[in-house]
Amino acid sequence: MAMETRYQFRRIAHFSLTRGRQRWLSALLISLLLLLLKAPVPLYAGQGDVTLLDIKGPIGPAVSDYVVRGMEQAEQEGNPLIILRLDTPGGLDNSMRDIIKAIMTSPVPVACFVAPGGGRAASAGTYILYACHISAMAPGTNLGAATPVQIGGLPTPAQPKGSAGEGAKPAAEHPGLEDKAINDAAAYIRSLAEMRGRNADWAERAVREAVSLSAAKALEMGVIDILATDIPDLLAQMDGRSVKLGTDIVTLKTSGLAVRVAAPDWRTELLSVITNPNVAYILLMVGIYGLIIEFWNPGTILPGVTGAISLLLALYALQLLPVNYAGLALILLGLVLLIAEMFVPAFGVLGLGGLIALVIGSIILIDTDVPGMAISIPIIGSIALVSGLLLLGIMYMAIKAWRRPVTTGPEALVGAPGEVIDWSGGTGHIRIRGEVWKARGPEKLPGHSRVKVTDLEGLRLVVEQVQNSEQKEADHDI
């Protein structure tokens, strides 16, 4: 009995020990799993291709749409890395910030590569370079000159010396719009530099002093991470580097990865065309003139359809661009004045005023000095020339109509030939163009003689007898 009891006790003890080991092993595995989840892991090693997005020329709505959608597609495809190949003189602030926001929230590391040789990352390009997880440049490239250009508003007027009163504050305490824009841009790029661990002092100088750097100097001063000759060299140098994605540290494994260039699709190409300020301006004018022609000649259809489509495309493009609404209002006012010239006898005053308003409004329509984002002066001149020719045509037709003899109403009878029906004592009835009119004239006129109307007195005509030399012509007219 005692031996059986001891046997049962051993079995219970063995069972309890086994369950304790299982719990201990489970806790150990869970702990290791948590540590592995927090530890740096390689980025999709050997999976997917590197997505290459090309940014060439001014950064506008089309470029930002192309980059943002390209980054989203790269994430959906599980690609391990995105490279922005950059060559830009700058661009619009809103478009630049849309790209930077996409980089900041991207779960895929983004590398910026200023290339090829001779390229640059000026103005908005410098901000994008600082925002990327890895920044690189090719030899012969440069970056900088990131001072924001004036967009709208008025410059701060200079205060004359001695104009400040005794208790006036210094000018530095009254920053103008330009100062506020520069301060905001300097703080923005400094925050990007500090986030990526790059040279924040030089970044602020690039904004405040518009300084620039070559690729070699940028690497020396800690502005960029890598100096690479081409994409394969860039991938080789990036291999094994660690970047911060949110709260995680990710180690890049880029050796041997294939590169896939993400070409712009039809939507990006269309957006690139219509958001070109010159194209948007031409679409606006074509749209307005097309609708004017349709309303002037209802039923022509083609001008109305073309005008409606062009106007809608122009309005879509303009809402994406930095439009000065005063300029848009001046353009519309100018067109209204040109149309009014057709109906009001202003002898060209309305038309000339409309032409001036149209030209001024066109010049100030796009409210930015960013290179490549302004309306071309030759295009404005061409539109003004066409509108001027239209004005001259309207004035010519008005003068021609003014000089043309009256063809309707009683006044049209002056100079018309007629035939006497009856006549007595200087008055009688005559037939003109199949109508019988009362008339007065010479004391005696024989019946069926030919006369010509010289004046109109109410509903009575004043006539004179036609001379022999005019008889044949009068007979023909009657």
Query: Catalytic residues, which ones?
Result: 123, 180
**Cα separations (Å) of 389 from 351, 382, 384, 413?**
11, 11, 9, 36
How many Cβ atoms are within 10 Å of 433's Cβ, its own excluded?
Answer: 12
Answer for the pair 238, 252: CB distance below 8 angstroms, yes or no. Answer: yes
**Cα separations (Å) of 467 from 203, 226, 341, 462?**
98, 105, 45, 16
What length is written for the chain?
478
Greatest Cα pair distance, the chain, in angstroms, is 171
Give the SS3 label for residue 221.
coil
9: amino acid identity, one letter: F
The backbone region for 111, taken as left when phi is positive above 0, alpha when psi lies in -120 to 50, beta otherwise, is beta
Distance CA 144, CA 215 (A): 11
Distance CA 293, CA 305 (A): 11
Cα radius of gyration (the chain):
42
Angle between helices 124-131 and 200-208 (to 10 degrees): 170
Closest CA to 143 of 221, 244, 233: 221
Which residue in this structure is represented by tokens 């309890």? Answer: 16
Angle between helices 325-343 and 277-296 (to 10 degrees): 30
Answer for the pair 122, 151: CB distance below 8 angstroms, yes or no. Answer: no
The backbone region for 445, taken as left when phi is positive above 0, alpha when psi lies in -120 to 50, beta otherwise, is beta
| Helix or strand holding residue 351 (H, E) | helix 349-363
How many Cβ atoms are within 10 Å of 405's Cβ, its own excluded?
Answer: 8
Retrieve residue 65's tokens.
């749409």
Cβ-proximal residues to 217 (8 Å cutoff; 6+ apart), any chain: none
**Cα separations (Å) of 364 from 31, 57, 316?**
65, 22, 19
Answer for the pair 182, 190: CB distance below 8 angstroms, yes or no. Answer: no
